[in-house]
Structure 1
Amino acid sequence: MPTRAERSGPEPRRVVVVPGGPVLVEGPVELVTDDGTTVYRDRFMVAVCACRRSRRYPLCDTSHRRRRTTH
């Protein structure tokens, strides 16, 4: 596998999967939902909902925090 210095082309976007939380994507990003809607955000970091509980889906509104249960 080539190192970052050996790769040609644009720098890859960093994507961080937060356990129990959103997927963080370095922006700007253009998201296309399953119904074809396009959402554009030009922020430096965009939180994408991974649990589908967000009222702002596909963007995270931290709804996953309210649904956590403790045992």
Structure 2
Amino acid sequence: MGQILSESLASTLSGEDLVWRPSVSATDAYASNGLNQYTSVTGAALGYDGNGNLTNDGQGRSAQPPPPQVRQSSAGR
């Protein structure tokens, strides 16, 4: 009960179902600058700040967390 027989599993899978496919295409285009930073990946521009930190990942997402919020303390009033 609840067992999968190897014959039934093998009959539903073909050789193409078992082929590993990498998530990154071998045809993706990468461009870099003189600082060895990627400036674009497959046409999506990447952004960096003045210190060389990645600030935009080309997908419209910020690569850095937002700055910490300053909270006022009631101590010392």
TM-score under structure 1 length normalisation:
0.27
Q: Which has the higher contact order (CA 8 A, sep 6+)?
A: 1
User: Which structure's residues are more often helix, by fraction?
Assistant: 2
Could you say which structure has the higher strand fraction? 1
Which structure would you say has the larger Rg? Answer: 2
